[in-house]
Amino acid sequence: MSRVVLGVTGGIAAYKACELLRRLTEAGHEVTVVPTESALRFVGTPTWEALSGRAVPTDVFTDVPSVTHVRLGQQADLIMVAPATADVLARAAQGLAPDLLGNVLLTARCPVVFAPAMHTEMWQHPATVANVAVLRERGAMVIDPAVGRLTGVDTGPGRLPDPAELFDTAQAVLDGGVPVRDLEGRTVVVSAGGTREFLDPVRYLGNRSSGKQGYAVAAAAAARGATVTLISANSTVPVPAGVEVVTVVDAAEMRSQVLARSDVDAVVMAAAVADYRPVEVAETKLKKESGSLTEIRVIENSDILADLVAARGDADTPVVVGFAAETGDETTDYLEYGRRKLARKGCDLLVVNEVGDGLAFEVDRNAATVIGRDGYELDIPMVSKRRLADSVWDAVLASGALK
- Beta-carbon contacts of 190 under 8 Å, excluding residues fewer than 6 positions away, are 214, 217, 218, 221, 228, 229, 230, 231, 267, 268, 270
What radius of gyration, in Å, describes the C-alpha atoms of the chain?
23
Per DSSP bridges, beta strands 365-372 and 349-354 are: antiparallel
pLDDT digits (tens, 9 = 90+) for 107-121: 999 999 999 999 999
Mean pLDDT, rounded, of the chain: 91
Burial class (CB in 10 A: 0-12, 13-18, 19+), 330: exposed
CB 193 within 8 Å of CB 262 = no
Would residue 185 be called left, alpha or beta, if left means φ above 0 and alpha means ψ between -120 and 50 degrees? Answer: left
Q: In this structure, what is the dihedral angle of CA atoms 180, 181, 186, 188, given to the nearest 10 degrees?
A: 60
State the catalytic residues: 207
Q: How confident is the model at residue 54 (pLDDT cuts 50, 70, 90)?
A: very high
Dihedral over Cα of 151, 96, 131, 34: its sign: negative
pLDDT given for residue 115 in this prediction: 97
DSSP per position, 93-124: HHT--SSHHHHHHHH--S-EEEEE---HHHHH
> What is the set of domains in the chain, with CATH numbers?
3-176 (3.40.50.1950), 187-399 (3.40.50.10300)
How many CA atoms lie within 13 Å of 95's alpha carbon, on the beta-carbon side? 3
CB 215 within 8 Å of CB 162 = no
Amino acid identity at 185: G
Residue 403 in this model has a pLDDT that exceeds 80: no
pLDDT digits (tens, 9 = 90+) for 156-215: 889 999 999 999 999 999 988 999 999 999 999 999 999 999 999 989 988 888 899 999
**Which range (137-141, 195-199, 333-337, 341-345) has the least confidence?**
333-337
User: Residue 315 and residue 344: Cα distance in Å, rounded?
Assistant: 19
Q: How confident is the model at residue 349 (pLDDT cuts 50, 70, 90)?
A: very high
- Beta-carbon contacts of 137 under 8 Å, excluding residues fewer than 6 positions away, are none
Residue 153 in this model has a pLDDT that exceeds 60: yes
pLDDT given for residue 360 in this prediction: 57
Residue 68 in this model has a pLDDT that exceeds 60: yes
Residue 359 in this model has a pLDDT that exceeds 70: no
H helical segments located in 9-161: 16-26, 45-52, 68-75, 86-94, 100-107, 120-124, 126-137
Helix (H) or strand (E) segment spanning residue 80: strand 78-84
Q: How confident is the model at residue 358 (pLDDT cuts 50, 70, 90)?
A: low
**Which range (11-20, 242-251, 348-357) has the least confidence?**
348-357
pLDDT digits (tens, 9 = 90+) for 277-334: 999 898 888 887 766 777 788 999 999 999 999 999 888 889 999 998 887 787 888 8
pLDDT given for residue 189 in this prediction: 98
